[in-house]
Amino acid sequence: MLFISDINIGEVGMHTKVPKKEIQKIKKEIEKEFPEDPMLQEIHIARKVIAYQAKKAGMSYIQYIQHIKEKAKSTISSTK
């Protein structure tokens, strides 16, 4: 099984790298909130990383998700 924490999150999403220190901070925070549920930790780690990337890109969380969605659609369309 592949977990979000196994992926090099610093490279995921637009061009906003998430520093390793920030990822570790997010992981520690989430592990304290959900100590007995690794899957819930993974979901919340991903959510926090996306929120960080959105903030750095100057967008709201929803705007960032919509931007990624549109970018994916255009990429798929161009490969057909």
CA pair distance 46, 13, nearest whole angstrom: 11
CB 49 within 8 A of CB 23: yes
Quote the number of domains for the chain.
Answer: 1
Mean pLDDT of all residues belonging to the chain: 82
3-state secondary structure of 37: coil
Q: What is the domain range of residue 22? A: 16-78
Q: ∠ at Cα 29 (25, 34), nearest 5°?
A: 145
Task: Output 17 or 43, whichever has higher pLDDT.
Answer: 43
pTM above the 0.85 mark? no
4 part of a folded domain: no
Q: Is the pLDDT of residue 62 over 90?
A: yes
Measure the N-to-C terminal CA separation of the chain; round to a whole number of Å. Answer: 31
65 part of a folded domain: yes
